[in-house]
Structure 1
Amino acid sequence: MNNYLFCLLFSILFATGNAQTKDSISSIQPKDKISYKQFIAPVALITAGSLMINSALNDDLQKNANNFFGEDFSSRADDVLLFVPAAQIYLGKSFGFKPKNDFYHQTINIAIANVIAVSTTMALKYSIKEERPDQSDDLSFPSGHTAIAFTNAALLYYEFKDSNMWYASSGFLFATATGILRIANNEHYTSDVLAGAGIGLASGLIVSYWNPFKSMSFGKKNKNTAFVYPKIGSQIGMGALIQLN
């Protein structure tokens, strides 16, 4: 039963993320407008997570997770996996895959999308104040790690979907693994992970359609520099340094 529950959760997160980007982001054209249909999957995930807060199902899934992984399970791999899709965006070109954007616009997309995801999750955390399963604090809902992971996975898909579908979709494996590990580490409930995945997908989708810096040009004479870096402390986040000359 425990194996079935976690295989089901893994399948839901991966299939929903992959299907959502195929249905919405893959059809993006410069003049396209955002349709409400493209937010069905993110809204469904966020709604499902919200409805599960303080529910018996949420508690049962957490107990099953503790039994499956062990009460003493601890891994910090989730602090790294969430950034893998972002790294893949930069590395794709070196593997021979053609990206949609250059390095600078990739950096801007990553920065803006992650700011949206982190801002949304932090606002909800401090508004809802759900206690974590390990009772370490009351900032459990939604999962910031999962939100960032799915944000970057959605951006990766959009960046390389026309070049290599397998590479473009691989980010959802790392994003889903991040969400599962958050539950396994007893730091998040299933509800937190589902909502975080929805926020991440929505953030990636929004930036794929709308980016005020998309038309910004970067010439050799401008000597612009851009760098995105992870911030890991009591809360997870992304930082960006962009110098425009």
Structure 2
Amino acid sequence: MARIFVDQIMLTKLFLPLFFLYLSAQSVQAQHTDTIHKSDTVRLRDQGKLKLYAFIPATAAVAYGFAALNADFLRDADNRIYKSIKHDNRNFYTSADDYLRYVPSLAVYGLDLFGVKGKNNFRDKTSILFISSAFTGVTVKVLKMSSNRMRPNGLNDYSFPSGHAATAFASAEFLRQEYGEISPWYTAAGYSVATLTSVLRLYKSYHWFSDVVAGAGIGILSTKFAYLVYPSVKRVVWGKKKTNTVMMPSYQNGVPGLLISGKF
């Protein structure tokens, strides 16, 4: 009986990071499918299907999280994973997850600063990140307030979904969108950091497994949706004509900000 319990712990520890890396692999595969060159005879509806395919893995993750709110066998799985993690890590604590969730997004600007140009300029990618963050924040807030799921540590009933996981995977998808076509290692690095953030939330007993799975899906979908709607938003906000507008970060009197200059 003891051997079975030990085996369950080992399988759980292997399963957690592999699940999130699966999301990364599926995201890379979807990106590859989207960038396949097709002949002029390919219909527009086929191109739409390719874009839709990229949303499937993250949508499945969100669906899993919602199903776990009411499905007894999935809630049992949450409990088993929680007990397996706490068996050897009763006093585990770190604050690294509070910072790691932002690392992939910061990497986008860091790479740009060092001359590695991504898909979009500073203004466009900053606008996209803002839209993604708004989608992520609003969605997570609404679901936390409506689901009323108690955290494993009993701190409050804001367990579902994981905001840290949502932010981390939104950030990782942002890095993939900007630099994934340059090298798959950027995607792997971003999703690895997001995975680590989510696993740390589990080890700290702030979330159930299904919470972080749903959070990961929400974050990925938010960024994908931001890239999908931004061209329309850009036409409305900036217009079709080219502008001389320049946006850059500023830091004055100890206060960070955003400097915008140009003709309006």
- Normalising by structure 1, we get a TM-score of 0.84
| Alignment of 1:57 onto 2:77 | yes
In structure 2, the residue matched to 1:188 is 207
Q: Give the counterpart letter for 1:196 in structure 2.
A: G
CA displacement at 1:25 relative to structure 2: 7.7
In structure 1, the residue matched to 2:24 is 17
In structure 2, the residue matched to 1:38 is 54
In structure 1, the residue matched to 2:245 is 222
CA displacement at 1:170 relative to structure 2: 1.1
Q: CA distance change for structure 1 residues 36 and 106 in 2, over 3 Å: closer, same or farther?
A: closer
For 1:225 and 1:96, locate their aligned partners in 2 and report how far apart those are by CA, in whole Å: 15
CA displacement at 1:161 relative to structure 2: 1.6
8 A Cα contact 1:155 1:208, kept in partner: no
Structure number with larger C-alpha Rg: 2
Select 2:108's aligned residue among 70, 80, 89: 89
Equivalent pairs: percent with the same residue? Answer: 27
| Alignment of 1:3 onto 2:2 | no
CA displacement at 1:53 relative to structure 2: 3.0
Extract unaligned runs of 5+ from structure 1. 228-239
SS at match of 2:55: helix
Task: Note the alpha carbon deviations across 1:88-115, whole angstroms, 9 max, x for none.
Answer: 1111234553301111212111111111
Q: CA distance change for structure 1 residues 75 and 141 in 2, over 3 Å: closer, same or farther?
A: same
Select 1:80's aligned residue among 74, 92, 99: 99
Select 1:140's aligned residue among 159, 166, 170: 159
For 2:111 and 2:29, locate their aligned partners in 1 and report how far apart those are by CA, in whole Å: 19
Q: Give the counterpart letter for 2:86 in structure 1.
A: N
For 1:154 and 1:127, locate their aligned partners in 2 and report how far apart those are by CA, in whole Å: 26
Task: Note the alpha carbon deviations across 1:174-209, whole angstroms, 9 max, x for none.
Answer: 000010000000100101000001111111211222
For 1:220 and 1:26, locate their aligned partners in 2 and report how far apart those are by CA, in whole Å: 34
Please state which structure has a larger fraction of its residues in helix. Answer: 2
Q: CA distance change for structure 1 residues 223 and 21 in 2, over 3 Å: closer, same or farther?
A: same
Task: Note the alpha carbon deviations across 1:20-53, whole angstroms, 9 max, x for none.
Answer: 2431487269x96474432221121112122223
For 2:31 and 2:205, locate their aligned partners in 1 and report how far apart those are by CA, in whole Å: 33
8 A Cα contact 1:140 1:187, kept in partner: yes
Q: Give the counterpart letter for 1:222 in structure 2.
A: T
| Alignment of 1:127 onto 2:146 | yes
State the Cα RMSD in Å: 2.7
8 A Cα contact 1:25 1:208, kept in partner: no
For 2:191 and 2:32, locate their aligned partners in 1 and report how far apart those are by CA, in whole Å: 14
Q: Which has the higher contact order (CA 8 A, sep 6+)?
A: 1
Extract unaligned runs of 5+ from structure 2. 1-7, 37-43, 251-256
8 A Cα contact 2:24 2:187, kept in partner: no
Size of the aligned set, in residue pairs, is 231
Q: Give the counterpart letter for 1:15 in structure 2.
A: Y
CA displacement at 1:220 relative to structure 2: 8.8
Q: Give the counterpart letter for 2:84 in structure 1.
A: N
Q: CA distance change for structure 1 residues 223 and 160 in 2, over 3 Å: closer, same or farther?
A: closer
In structure 1, the residue matched to 2:121 is 102
For 1:208 and 1:25, locate their aligned partners in 2 and report how far apart those are by CA, in whole Å: 17
Which segment drifts farther, 48-57 or 1-10? 48-57
Q: Give the counterpart letter for 2:199 in structure 1.
A: I
In structure 2, the residue matched to 1:159 is 178
